[in-house]
Amino acid sequence: MTLEKFYEKIGGNYADTISRLMTEERILRFVRKFPADDSFNALKDALVRGSQEEAFRAAHTLKGVAQNLGFTALYEKASAVTEVLRGGSLDVAALMPDLESVYRLTVDGIADLD
């Protein structure tokens, strides 16, 4: 799959990303590193442990990474979780399935890149 098709598939913003990072090679270098980022798993672990502060930090990190890479759909889902956690609540159970779905779509799409 091409990089543009990948961004289309995951609900990302290829045009914005290429305008900031300038080359497909640079984008690919950072996109391929994304699956190694542990923010999503750290978020899930913190929620299981009931640590609002750690969950907030992980969600905020995931949101920032997604924004920087132009993963718009993932950014929006992570942002919604971040804002609930920012308010001091751990009540994000209803938001997590959508976040996880978009996260998995993104990671699976990266595996399919040319």
Mean pLDDT of the chain: 97
Q: Report the domain count for the chain.
A: 1
- State pTM to two decimals: 0.95
Full domain range(s) for residue 93: 3-111
Residue 25 has pLDDT above 90, yes or no: yes
Helix, strand or coil, per DSSP, at residue 84: helix
Question: Residue 7 has what pLDDT?
Answer: 98
CATH code for the domain in which residue 34 is found: 1.20.120
Q: If you count them, how many residues does the chain have? A: 114
Average pLDDT over residues 46-64: 98
Average pLDDT over residues 76-95: 97
Residue 88 has pLDDT above 90, yes or no: yes
Residue 114 has pLDDT above 90, yes or no: no
Question: Residue 55 has what pLDDT?
Answer: 98
